[in-house]
Structure 1
């Protein structure tokens, strides 16, 4: 099969080469023909910075987002040959930047019926990260998504701040917070993306080209929030400490928030760094929302398989609006 490979973990240089079609070896392995995948910013450094997690034995195929068709299933599987599926493949196993991949049954969900393969590939990592940040790691009541009125009333009294709100994760977090009935949804973005972020459901905007988060909240302390979802790290995460309420939650997918606490900020907050859990059951919940036309993936651009390097270069450069998708097969 044709596969994208990262030959050297110290370099972002990728090559397209031939590798053997993977053979199912784990009891949950499902062989899938890949139709599309997406890069994730930072993934080309994972093996370098987390060698205890990304072992040298991993075949270095990037692109852990998968959209494809099932070719074989383990005995007793809930999936069947020919099913259209999608998944986030655990980062310590070969990804979907190849014509065939081996997600595990626990990672898989049936493809949303109203999405193309391109849109489906743009969904798993970003939607799971936002969903789990809000409802698993954060303090937003997930039952509101299915109409629970008590949960809706609780969420209506909460304020959530989302950094890099036009990004792939940020755009999902804005939409999911909106659907959960969160009363205050603050999106941090640039001037050019203000209209886009508002269209997703943000009730307030912080234009980081005009002011940082700490200046924004210093103007009016009533702007403090109950939950911050940090998707960018760096100074933005440090500024976020000024905006969290006493006893609030700061969730980062980039680094440990406590390490970015500014001098002089003594308020108590629950803070954590977390890695996404590739749960197919969470994807099932997201699928229901997609098929009801309540949320949708955002596709920045599409790249052909042979031009794969452009996709990783664009993502690593930052400032994409949504996901960059790599077409692997001709089925779209």
Structure 2
């Protein structure tokens, strides 16, 4: 089969057109799947976890068709022929290959109203936003009015995680403010953001300090890091939550100017069948949508990574198999 591998001492990317296929005998507790698409994540080539594999393969989001079920005894959630999608463990090989082996807990049924490429853009980003908001951010996922007075800031709101943080916070009944470039303002508004700031024209901290009682936030989902993260610390209310997906928030914590009781969380997103199934339901119900920046054939992987690392994507970069 074809596989995008990281070969040699420098782990240089190479397209291997004669890579061995996984078999159910080698992975008795995993499904074997035919990969249809995989989404790439910015800076994933410098993550330490994938390098634990003897032959690393990138791409941890995937959409696929089940071709073989686990040999282990007991009931199986999926059957041969099911169209599924998911997020696989970065400690294992990724999915930029024709066939892969995937744990049952990493998968959910693919949204019926999305293409293979659109669905591949969902799992890692949507689960990161879901866990940031509802597991670590203390918000209620149910739009029952309990979040009505809450305010959430999402930086880089047109990026992979930002898109989902805006949509999920909006669905939960939160007042959402997003930051983005001028070309994406209308797009971020269409996702459900109540206020959208053009970061090129509006300094976030200055904007909040103009009316701190009305503009400070209960939760920040920072997808940028650096100075933006440092400023965002000062934009939180008393007992607010700083959730950073770009870098550990404490690395950019200012020495002063932070409200009392503000806490930070740095977490690594985890695959979760139940959470991804709930996200699927929202997509099929028309409450959330996926966003693909650009689709490349597997053989165009070099151009895909150039686009990915440009820092100006709207949604995810996807490899089509």
Task: Give the shorter-chain TM-score range.
Answer: over 0.9
Question: What SS does structure 1 have at the residue aligned with 2:102?
Answer: coil
Alpha-carbon distance change, 280 to 42 in structure 1, aligned in 2, over 3 angstroms: same
Q: Does 1:273 align with 2:283?
A: no
Once the two structures are TM-superposed, the CA of residue 215 in structure 1 deviates from its matched residue by 1.4
- For 1:242-261, list aligned pairs within 5 A: 242-261=234-253
Distance 1:64 1:36 in 2: 10
The C-alpha deviation readout for 1:94-151, integer Å capped at 9, x for no partner, is 111000111100001011111111111111111111111111111210132xxxxxxx
Once the two structures are TM-superposed, the CA of residue 27 in structure 1 deviates from its matched residue by 4.9
Q: Which residue of 2 aligns with 1:190?
A: 181
Once the two structures are TM-superposed, the CA of residue 58 in structure 1 deviates from its matched residue by 4.1
The C-alpha deviation readout for 1:64-99, integer Å capped at 9, x for no partner, is 111010011114311101100001001111111000
- For 1:247-326, list aligned pairs within 5 A: 247-267=239-259, 268-326=261-319
Q: Does 1:158 align with 2:150?
A: yes
Distance 1:119 1:101 in 2: 19
Distance 2:14 2:146 in 1: 50
- Aligned match for 2:66, one of 63, 70, 83: 70
Higher mean C-alpha deviation, range 289-298 or range 68-77: 68-77
Once the two structures are TM-superposed, the CA of residue 237 in structure 1 deviates from its matched residue by 0.6
- For 1:1-332, list aligned pairs within 5 A: 1-7=1-7, 13-17=12-16, 18-24=18-24, 25-47=26-48, 53-54=49-50, 56-74=52-70, 75=72, 76-144=75-143, 152-182=144-174, 184-222=175-213, 223-267=215-259, 268-328=261-321
Distance 1:296 1:9 in 2: 40
Question: What SS does structure 1 have at the residue aligned with 2:117?
Answer: helix
CA contact (8 A) 2:67 2:81 kept: yes
CA contact (8 A) 1:212 1:236 kept: no
Once the two structures are TM-superposed, the CA of residue 266 in structure 1 deviates from its matched residue by 4.0
The C-alpha deviation readout for 1:180-212, integer Å capped at 9, x for no partner, is 111x20001111111111111111122110133
Distance 2:112 2:258 in 1: 49
CA contact (8 A) 1:212 1:239 kept: no
Once the two structures are TM-superposed, the CA of residue 308 in structure 1 deviates from its matched residue by 1.4
Write out the 4+ residue segments of structure 1 that deviate beyond 6 Å after TM superposition: none
Distance 1:216 1:84 in 2: 46
Distance 1:260 1:10 in 2: 31
Question: What SS does structure 1 have at the residue aligned with 2:290?
Answer: coil
Once the two structures are TM-superposed, the CA of residue 168 in structure 1 deviates from its matched residue by 1.3
Question: What SS does structure 1 have at the residue aligned with 2:296?
Answer: strand
CA contact (8 A) 1:9 1:45 kept: no
Q: Considering only aligned residues, what root-mean-square deviation do their CA atoms show, in Å?
A: 1.5
Alpha-carbon distance change, 266 to 166 in structure 1, aligned in 2, over 3 angstroms: closer
Once the two structures are TM-superposed, the CA of residue 55 in structure 1 deviates from its matched residue by 5.0
CA contact (8 A) 1:58 1:92 kept: no
* Structure 1 unmatched runs, 5+: 48-52, 145-151
CA contact (8 A) 2:7 2:55 kept: no
Distance 2:293 2:211 in 1: 35
Corresponding pairs, count:
314
CA contact (8 A) 2:88 2:106 kept: yes
Question: What SS does structure 2 have at the residue aligned with 1:41?
Answer: coil
